[in-house]
Amino acid sequence: MTTTAARSGRPQAAERPKLSPGVTSLPVRRFTLDEYHRMSELGFLREGDPYELLNGWITHKMTINPPHAAAISLLARRLDRILGDTFVVRVQSPVTIPASDSEPEPDIVIAMGPETKYNAAHPHPHQVVILVEVADSTLATDRGQKLAIYAAAKIAEYWIVNLVDRQIEVYTAPRGGKNPIYRTRTDYGPDDSVRVTIAGREIGAIAARDILP
């Protein structure tokens, strides 16, 4: 286990797609959360479509491979055992972040209970205690654009289950502002146990080896 000062997760500018010769570029713009929800209501975006809203950009989500899916399932099951009914473990469900016109769909979110609180609305940042992304091909985005969104929203703790380097990165102490960051990063290798800490109280621990397929 190693703890370091985390580097800035600066927001990444979205790039226009590269066009074939002779194809005219059309104007592009960011969308507000209200516009994004309205597009869903009108059927332009259907439930289950692989998209999420990041800083106003409708972004295509990467296909999940078997190790990625396994890590999500393994971690969610262990968190359910540790947390009981006090907190809600949500898998690949949206978090609404109005300040940045974002509605990402993290792999796992631990939110304050009861579960019925989210019957009519997705969790907002102040209701999220730990947010988790499992990263393989998405590692650069999870450490960059998404980290900046979560830090700016003051989500208290952010985990990256890094399948590339076989480690779990735990980011804490978020700071907003022009260049939002998490000030502390702790890396857990396969032989370490990751503490599940909520509001300064350790609820339990998970062996990193058990969720790194």
Domain of residue 93, residue span: 2-12+64-211
The whole-angstrom separation of Cα 50 and Cα 76 is 21
Three-class DSSP category at 136:
coil
More confident residue, 198 or 8: 198
Task: Say which CATH number the domain at 158 has.
Answer: 3.90.1570.10
Q: For residue 161, tell me if it sits in a domain.
A: yes
Cβ density class 25-57: b for 16+ within 10 Å, e for less: eeeeeeeebeebeeeeeeeebeeeeebbbbbbb
pLDDT at 10: 43
User: What pLDDT, in 10s, does the model give residues 6-25?
Assistant: 654 444 444 444 545 554 45
Q: For residue 41, tell me if it sits in a domain.
A: no
Nearest Cα to Cα of residue 203 among 77, 93, 78: 78
Q: For residue 195, tell me if it sits in a domain.
A: yes
Number of domains present in the structure of the chain = 1
* Residue 36 pLDDT exceeds 50: yes
Residue 33 C-beta-side C-alpha neighbours within 13 Å? 13
pLDDT at 48: 75
pLDDT at 17: 44
Q: For residue 52, tell me if it sits in a domain.
A: no
Q: For residue 100, tell me if it sits in a domain.
A: yes
The pLDDT confidence band at residue 170, using thresholds 50, 70 and 90, is very high
Three-class DSSP category at 198:
strand
Burial tier of 70 (Cβ tally within 10 Å: 0-12, 13-18, 19+): middle
Q: For residue 32, tell me if it sits in a domain.
A: no
Q: Which tokens sit at 38?
A: 């309205």
User: What pLDDT, in 10s, does the model give residues 78-134?
Assistant: 999 999 888 999 999 999 999 999 999 999 999 999 999 999 999 999 999 999 999
The pLDDT confidence band at residue 27, using thresholds 50, 70 and 90, is low
Task: Return the ∠ at Cα 156 (arms to 128 and 136), rounded to 5°.
Answer: 85
Q: For residue 108, tell me if it sits in a domain.
A: yes
More confident residue, 112 or 46: 112
- The pTM (predicted TM-score) of the whole model is 0.86
Cα–Cα distance list, 128 to 14, 22, 34, 124 (Å): 26, 47, 21, 7
Q: Which residues contact 109 (CB under 8 A, 6 or more apart)?
A: 89, 90, 93, 95, 123, 128, 130, 131, 132
- List the helix and strand counts (H, then E) for the chain: 4, 11
The pLDDT confidence band at residue 165, using thresholds 50, 70 and 90, is very high
